[in-house]
Chain A
Amino acid sequence: MKKLLQKIVGKSPWLYRINAGSCNGCDVELATTACIPRFDVERLGCKYCGSPKHADIVLITGPLTVRVKDKVLRVYDEIPDPKVTVAIGICPISAGVFRDSYAIAGPIDSFIPVDVNVPGCPPRPQAIIDGILEAIKIWETRM
Chain B
Amino acid sequence: MSSFLKIALRNLLKGPSTDPYPFGETFVPKGLRGKIKYNAKACIACGMCEHVCAGGAIQIKETADKSGLEFIVWHNTCAFCGLCEHYCPTKAIRLTEDFHTAHSQEDKYRYVERGFIKYVTCARCATPMVPIAPELMTLAYGQVNKDIEKLRHLCPKCRQKQSLR
Contacts and interface: CB of A to CB of B under 8 A. Distances in A.
B48 interface: no
A37 B17 contact: yes
B78 A123 contact: no
A65 B107 CA distance: 25
B120 to A, nearest CB: 35
Contacts of A130: 22, 100-102
A38 B17 contact: yes
A134 B104 contact: yes
Interface stretch (B58-66, B69-77, B131-139, B152-160): B69-77
A117 B102 contact: yes
Contacts of B105: 109, 113-117
Interface in B102-157: 102-105, 107-108, 111
A131 interface: yes
Nearest to A120: B101
- Of the four ranges (under 10, 10 to 19, 20 to 34, 35 or more), the interface on chain A belongs to 20 to 34
Contacts of B103: 116-117, 134
A126 B78 CA distance: 18
A123 B104 CA distance: 15
B99 A123 contact: yes
B22 A119 contact: no
Interface stretch (A1-9, A52-60, A66-74, A91-99): A91-99
A130 B21 CA distance: 9
B45 to A, nearest CB: 24
B29 to A, nearest CB: 10
Contacts of B18: 37-40, 43
Contacts of A37: 17-18
Quick one: which of A93, A116, A123 has the most chain B CB within 10 A?
A: A93
Contacts of A83: none
Contacts of A97: 54-56, 77, 79
A129 interface: yes
23 contacts: A37-B18, A39-B21, A40-B18, A44-B22, A90-B76, A94-B55, A94-B74, A94-B77, A97-B79, A115-B104, A115-B105, A116-B102, A116-B103, A117-B102, A117-B104, A119-B111, A123-B99, A126-B21, A126-B26, A127-B101, A128-B102, A130-B102, A134-B102
What are the 9 closest A-B residue pairs judged by CB atoms, nearest first? A121-B79, A131-B102, A130-B102, A94-B77, A124-B99, A93-B76, A118-B102, A119-B76, A97-B55
Interface of B: 17-19, 21-22, 26, 32, 54-56, 74-81, 99-105, 107-108, 111
Given A97-B55, A123-B101, 7 more contacts: A39-B19, A115-B105, A117-B76, A119-B77, A121-B78, A127-B101, A131-B102
